[in-house]
Amino acid sequence: MSSPRYIRHHDLLLPSEAHDAQSLEYAQNFSVEDTDVFAVTYPKSGTIWMQEILPLVLNDGDLTPIHTIPNWDRVPWLEEKRLAFVVDQLKSPRALVTHFPYHIMPPSFHTSKAKVIYVIRNPKDVMVSSYHFHQMAGFLEDPGTFDEFMEKFLEGRVMFGKWTDHVKSWRHTALQDRIMFIAYEEMVEDLPAALRRISEFLGTKLSEKTIQKIAEHCSFKSMKANKMSNFSLIPKQYMDHDKSPFLRKGIAEDWKNCFSSEQLARFTSVICKEMEGESLSLPWSLA
């Protein structure tokens, strides 16, 4: 598939509005520091949530950044054009996000001690969220019908390729204790417990009072009301919130309202086949 809305990188489709040859070269040559923390996600799996959480966990719950800096500058994407402009403003420990699969991370990442929090989300909900996002994002192709988009999603003809390939690339790494896996649904179910896990992994030793404060400010309601987090600062030509709000529902299992029984059977059979042999401990079933 070729479209002016996308560029190809390692056989993956990336939106050309946010990525170009220079930004991808910048990412490849990026100098990762040992203290860096990467939130890694397949698109629509909780990226924006982690952009909210990480600065608070790394800075003892200081709320200043989330009220004064847009989230894309607060925790920038490794692969996007914006990083080169804001990287000098990032204070150590730096928090970054990426949608990159493991094998195209920059060489300096592999030789560093940087940590990774990989957020995994039920692919049925990922697809539904992505479908709605394509409807409101002017820089992405029109998704077509739900059926048509589902086929694109399953075949990897969407930005950043197949969900199954992305998950597997980060499951089979040499990172060992440098990577922590957390499910989006765990965060929905009990955010303070998720924050305790993240804090422990990053060694920040937050007090229970701070954990509760962060949980309150990282609730879906708080983020939806915060213009630095809800993408309302983005011009309408790029994101039309009248078609669908960027922060839409923030729930798990919305897929149950969207799939027909035939679509569900098709979707789960493909995903299960591709994830055969993967021992994932998840709060939801692939089937």
Catalytic positions, please?
A: 99
| CATH level 2 (architecture), domain 15-274 | 3-Layer(aba) Sandwich (3.40)
Task: Summarize pLDDT for 76-91 with one digit per residue, the tens.
Answer: 999 999 999 999 999 9
End-to-end CA distance of the chain: 29
**Helical axes 261-274 vs 123-136, angle rounded to 10°:** 110
Any idea where the domains of the chain sit in the sequence? 15-274
pLDDT band for position 15 (cuts 50, 70, 90): very high
3-state SS record for 159-205: ECCCHHHHHHHHHCCCCHHHEEEEEHHHHHHCHHHHHHHHHHHHCCC
DSSP 145: S
pLDDT at 229: 65
Task: Summarize pLDDT for 189-209 with one digit per residue, the tens.
Answer: 999 999 999 999 999 989 999
pLDDT at 232: 52
Alpha-carbon gap, residue 90 to 254, rounded angstroms: 36
Q: Higher-confidence residue: 229 or 41?
A: 41
pTM: 0.90
Task: Summarize pLDDT for 32-42 with one digit per residue, the tens.
Answer: 999 999 999 99
CB of 224 within 8 A of CB of 247?
Answer: yes
Mean pLDDT over the full length of the chain = 88
Map tokens 């990032």 to a residue: 90
Instruction: Tokens for 210, please give them.
Output: 């701070």
